[in-house]
Structure 1
Amino acid sequence: MSNFEVNKNPQPRPAEIRDLLLQKPAFGVEFTDHMAHIRYTDEQGWHGREVVPFGPIPLNPAAAVLHYAQEIFEGLKAYKHADGTIWTFRPDRNAARMNKSAVRMALPEMSEEDFVESLKALVAQDKDWVPMPKDESDEVSLYLRPFTFSAEYFLGLRPTEQADYYVIASPSGAYFSGGVKPVDIWLSNELKRTGSGGTGFAKTGGNYAASTRAMIEAKEQGCAQVMFTDAAESKYLEELGGMNLMLVTSDDKLVTPPVSDTILDGVTRRSLLDLAPRLGLTPEERLITVDEWRERAAAGEIVEAFACGTAAVITPIGALKSTDFTVEMGSEPGEKTMALRKTLLDIQYGRAEAPEGWMVQLA
């Protein structure tokens, strides 16, 4: 039994409009009828668990989040299986990462139980918003966005004593429109996402804000995403603006930069490393230089490249472009890339058996 009080939306979206939106949902554009909410104070801890109508959040103009960016978030999906049940993927890792982000951003930690129960409480009310895939190529889901911010209003810099946690949900299709095809990415030489000792490992809005200027540059170069390097030497590959990087070698290694204080510990990234041996790939987490990618790709030793994350799943990389060179990876998705993609999606949509504890039923 949920411990969330439910305040139903008196004006939910009419079923015919909702069903029309679910036929071809865009990513993160439309939202469901409700949102989950928990309030925090130093005196009471987390309390006031509720599901309320989706809508504007009351916020004092002096709220700390607006002035000092005390905010963290997560991203995960709810998948409708063939029998109509609704599941999510490894929420324990999202809960743990959110707490790691909270510690770094001086926000309150939350129990895994509260985190998962908030997802269940929201999906219980909005289960009709979870789209059913038409076939195996239809990657529709309900995207879940939990987030915490400092709602305390004061113009002074210190750890917050009051915070709000919400979960909102958006029926979503593929992150990149046009099907699974390789995208070009831009190597950012001057702009950096984060540096050692910073907030790069935390899922906080400031990291993404710091990457948007480089995304403008990438778009001007005809690229869909940005590849960032380390701030100290501009030598080592780190991650894309919103995804982790993986490379496949000719001797069947799956290589990715190691998690550090500048790289987000992606749930999809970790899961692919766990699944790699199933497909005859040896996972390898180590430092990778830009020069290694360029030289080994030219020699035929790095044969596939892809970006991965909850929103985009796995997106093949067609080329790495910079002001000085282009690394061509091919105009078609790689065999191992697509095999990993299918393996992951089959687990998430209930078409294949999941490792123990990976799938959690929401409704």
Structure 2
Amino acid sequence: MQEIKIIDNEKKKEVKLPENLVFGKTFTEHIFEMDFDRNKGGWQTPTIKRYENLNIDPAAMVFHYGQAIFEGMKAYKQVDGKIALFRPEKNIERLNRSARRLCIPEVEPELALKAIKELVKIDAEWIPEKPGHSLYIRPFIFATEPCFGVRAADSYKFIIILSPVGPYYPQGFKPVPIMATDKYVRAVRKGTGEAKAAGNYAAGLIAQEEAKKEGYSQILWLDAIEQKYIEEVGAMNIFIRFKDEVATPALSGSILPGITRMSVIELLKDWGYNINERLIAIEELFNAADKGELLEIFGSGTAAVISSVSKLKYHDREIKFSETEPGELAFKLYDELTGLQYGKIEDRFGWITIVE
């Protein structure tokens, strides 16, 4: 494994975080950067240095052909003062799966984890200690070769930046309204939907904007072929709690395999719930709601952890839950996951990595 060169790891100024942290608007003092050159032997010069703007050629292939992937994870200040990461090896595994799908060179998992730990340690004073606050970690890779040619680039950058964040929903753990749409599709099976590719998010923006105009926080996507099966929400995976079952859409190749999703499934199995990954038709939700057999809907993701759904709209129909109180199972899962992340409960699963 290559050694990480650290340049200027001294604090430039006293860390003073904003009273109200807006998600993804504040960044720490340092950055990890590593370059790939296919003609010079691969990944080289892993470096931690002062946060600064990038100098990128306007012809860089990322701007023209979209080779860009990213990850999202968090560092938490636990109740005993230790700094914890939640299942970071799974994020790195997914980063490399995304890389393979977009013909981007993979990174050495051990080096990537070391880079995350070292960067977090250097900027540890930026980790907020308020309840629900954390340090968001954003690794990303993009093509840098200047060339007009539709092919995989020969050079790339792997960068990690950090952002102290407050709760994803500042108003607290309250249910959010979502809207299903068949006007647009997010991804098609065998496409790039299962990769955390930057372009996937750009493809969903127009539907997201339209949903916001109608008063809904997120879009629930349907499958691209039949447009009848639910897939995922814009920023999270989705779970449906029926009377006798908890179900989540099966990973079909067009759904991002979330780390929090994986953890929720494992927790529910451990708790003895009947949890299934399967096809779920949008009509099944409305039929179950009509029969009184739909108990709650919730989403899972790194940013929000768990999001309870207050209502779901599809065309001119709507399923309503409480607008003020989260679902029972959603709250239990949120409490368990955040308890693990902040060190309030025992890590029975070995999901926590301590930064030392």
TM-score (norm 2): 0.96
Deviations 1:207-243 (A, max 9, x none): 0000000011101110000010011111000001121
Amino acid at match of 2:153: T
Q: Aligned residue for 1:33?
A: 29
Aligned alpha-carbon RMSD (Å): 1.5
Does residue 131 in structure 1 map to residue 128 in structure 2? yes
Q: Aligned residue for 1:170?
A: 163
Q: Aligned residue for 1:58?
A: 55
Deviation at 1:347, TM superposition (A): 0.7
Aligned to 2:298, which of 306, 330, 348? 306
Q: Aligned residue for 1:187?
A: 180
User: Aligned partners of 2:164, 2:234: CA distance in 1, in Å?
Assistant: 23
User: Aligned partners of 2:232, 2:355: CA distance in 1, in Å?
Assistant: 31
Q: Tell me: CA distance 1:10–1:80, structure 2 relative to 1, closer, same or farther (3 Å).
A: closer
User: Aligned partners of 2:45, 2:210: CA distance in 1, in Å?
Assistant: 44
Contact 1:254–1:273, Cα closer than 8 Å, also in 2? no
Q: What is the 5 A alignment of 1:250-329? A: 250-251=243-244, 253-329=245-321
Q: Aligned residue for 1:344?
A: 337
Q: Tell me: CA distance 1:2–1:359, structure 2 relative to 1, closer, same or farther (3 Å).
A: farther
Contact 1:297–1:329, Cα closer than 8 Å, also in 2? no
Q: Which runs of 5+ in 2 are unaligned?
A: none
User: Aligned partners of 1:27, 1:74: CA distance in 2, in Å?
Assistant: 16
Amino acid at match of 1:57: L
Deviations 1:288-315 (A, max 9, x none): 0000011102212120111110001101
Deviation at 1:324, TM superposition (A): 2.1
Aligned to 2:145, which of 152, 162, 179? 152
Amino acid at match of 2:174: K
Percent identity (aligned): 38
User: Aligned partners of 2:201, 2:22: CA distance in 1, in Å?
Assistant: 21
Amino acid at match of 2:87: R
Q: Aligned residue for 1:218?
A: 211
Deviation at 1:2, TM superposition (A): 8.8
Deviation at 1:279, TM superposition (A): 3.5
Aligned residue pairs: how many?
Answer: 354
Q: Tell me: CA distance 1:166–1:159, structure 2 relative to 1, closer, same or farther (3 Å).
A: same
Q: Which runs of 5+ in 1 are unaligned?
A: none
User: Aligned partners of 2:47, 2:334: CA distance in 1, in Å?
Assistant: 36
Does residue 98 in structure 1 map to residue 90 in structure 2? no
Amino acid at match of 1:25: L
Deviation at 1:277, TM superposition (A): 3.1
Amino acid at match of 1:8: D
Q: Tell me: CA distance 1:339–1:10, structure 2 relative to 1, closer, same or farther (3 Å).
A: closer
Contact 2:56–2:144, Cα closer than 8 Å, also in 1? yes
Contact 1:4–1:49, Cα closer than 8 Å, also in 2? yes
Q: Aligned residue for 2:236?
A: 243
Contact 2:9–2:122, Cα closer than 8 Å, also in 1? no
Contact 2:2–2:46, Cα closer than 8 Å, also in 1? no
Instruction: Point out the more displaced range, 323-332 or 68-77.
Output: 323-332
Deviation at 1:11, TM superposition (A): 7.1
User: Aligned partners of 2:214, 2:22: CA distance in 1, in Å?
Assistant: 25
Instruction: State the SS of the aligned residue for 1:19.
Output: coil
Contact 2:80–2:343, Cα closer than 8 Å, also in 1? no
